[in-house]
Amino acid sequence: MNGIKLFVGLGNPGNEYEDTRHNAGFWWIDRVAAITNSKLANESKLFGYAGKLRNEAWLLKPTTFMNASGRSVAALAKFYKIEPESILVIHDELDIPPGTAKLKKGGGHGGHNGLKDIAAQLGTNEFWRLRLGIGHPGDRNEVINFVLHAPSKNEMQLIEFSIDDSAPLLDSLLKGEFEAAMLKLHTKK
């Protein structure tokens, strides 16, 4: 079974978005880069910050805005011949409470414009997703405002907990041990 060759954290570029809920995927990539001593550099031809992870895989933070994330993912995947089923997209998830992370393969985009663009650019939605719960504002009309604002201190601690919980799955994900990774992640201690 093939493991993950490309880890993509979703977010929006720029200081004004750095602390917003929509950047949870960037936070995950930053944590993994720190843990593994991986260096990311701005790669203009890949439309993102990219770096090697232990010579086994790539880390990527697109520098496009969220709704154009697929441009960066497709550029790196095409250049390095990485199949969609070997891609893991880490993103914020409204339908999961803060503090919870879920791993799954495929599925719809659930209104997430980053996922929608990645599926369109890759020509399939059969890539892996690590969904970091950010909670829901309770009103559909408040979603855009919600994701583009910083979480409360308590919510941020919970989101960081879900990142701490999911980052150690790296080795399982690299080896393609998805069942084991899901079991660890989805089973509450």
Catalytic residue among 22, 91, 112, 149: 22
Domain extent, residue 143, equals: 6-186
Write out pLDDT tens, residues 70-83.
999 999 999 999 99
Q: Report which of 87, 83, 78 is spatially closest to residue 105, judged by C-alpha positions.
A: 87
Catalytic residue status for 149 = no
Is 83 part of any domain?
yes
Is 144 part of any domain?
yes
In the predicted model, is pLDDT for residue 174 greater than 90? yes
Is 101 part of any domain?
yes
Is 113 part of any domain?
yes
Q: What is the pLDDT of residue 110?
A: 85
Average pLDDT, the chain: 94
Is 93 part of any domain?
yes
Is 30 part of any domain?
yes
Domain count, the chain: 1
Is 150 part of any domain?
yes
Write out pLDDT tens, residues 110-163.
889 999 999 999 999 999 999 999 999 999 899 999 999 999 999 999 999 999
Is 1 part of any domain?
no
The CATH code of the domain that includes 35 is 3.40.50.1470
Q: Confidence band (pLDDT; 50, 70, 90) for 106?
A: very high
